[in-house]
C-alpha cells in the first residue's frame, strides 16, 4: 500500500503550486494590451498559450482534488479498472492517477 501521508503532502504542495501559477498567469492576462496592432497579434498568441496553461492547471487541480478525496475515502492507490494496487513507482510519476500501469 502506498505511503498515503507522503502522497497527500505531495498532492497538496502541487495543488498550491498550480494555484499560484493560475494567479500569476491570470494577472498577466489582465495586463493592458499594446495599442500597436502587430504587437497585439503577438500578445494574443501569447495569451492563447497562457490560457491553455491556465486550463491545464485547473484540470490538474481537479485531478488532485479527486485524489485527495480518494485519500480521505481510503481508496487512494487502488486502480479504478482492475481494483488492484497501483505501484508506488507509478504514483511517484503521476500521484493523481486513477489507474495502474497495466490498465492505462
Q: Kindly state the greatest CA–CA separation across the chain.
A: 58
Alpha carbon distance 102, 21 (integer Å): 32
Question: Which tens digit of pLDDT belongs to each residue from 3-58?
Answer: 999 999 999 999 999 999 999 999 988 777 766 666 666 678 888 999 999 999 99
pLDDT of 2: 64
Query: What is the reported pTM?
Result: 0.84
Question: b/e per residue, 3-18, with b = 16+ CB within 10 A?
Answer: eeeebbebbeebbeeb
Alpha carbon distance 50, 32 (integer Å): 15
pLDDT of 44: 80
In the structure, what pLDDT confidence band is assigned to residue 1 with cuts at 50, 70 and 90?
A: low
How many Cα atoms sit within 13 Å of 19 on the Cβ side?
A: 9
With beta carbons less than 8 A apart as the criterion, state whether 29 and 50 touch.
yes
With beta carbons less than 8 A apart as the criterion, state whether 79 and 99 touch.
yes
Question: Which tens digit of pLDDT belongs to each residue from 58-103?
Answer: 999 999 999 999 999 999 999 999 999 999 999 999 999 999 999 9
pLDDT of 67: 98
Amino acid at each position: 500500500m502506498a505511503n498515503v501521508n507522503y502522497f497527500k503532502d505531495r498532492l497538496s504542495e502541487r495543488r498550491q503550486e498550480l494555484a499560484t501559477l493560475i494567479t500569476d498567469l491570470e494577472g498577466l492576462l489582465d495586463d493592458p494590451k499594446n495599442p500597436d496592432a502587430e504587437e497585439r497579434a503577438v500578445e494574443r498568441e501569447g495569451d492563447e498559450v497562457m490560457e491553455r496553461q491556465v486550463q491545464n492547471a485547473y484540470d490538474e487541480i481537479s485531478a488532485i482534488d479527486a485524489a485527495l478525496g480518494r485519500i480521505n475515502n481510503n481508496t487512494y492507490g487502488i486502480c479504478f479498472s482492475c481494483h488492484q494496487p497501483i505501484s508506488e513507482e507509478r504514483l511517484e510519476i503521476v500521484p493523481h492517477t486513477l489507474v495502474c500501469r497495466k490498465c492505462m
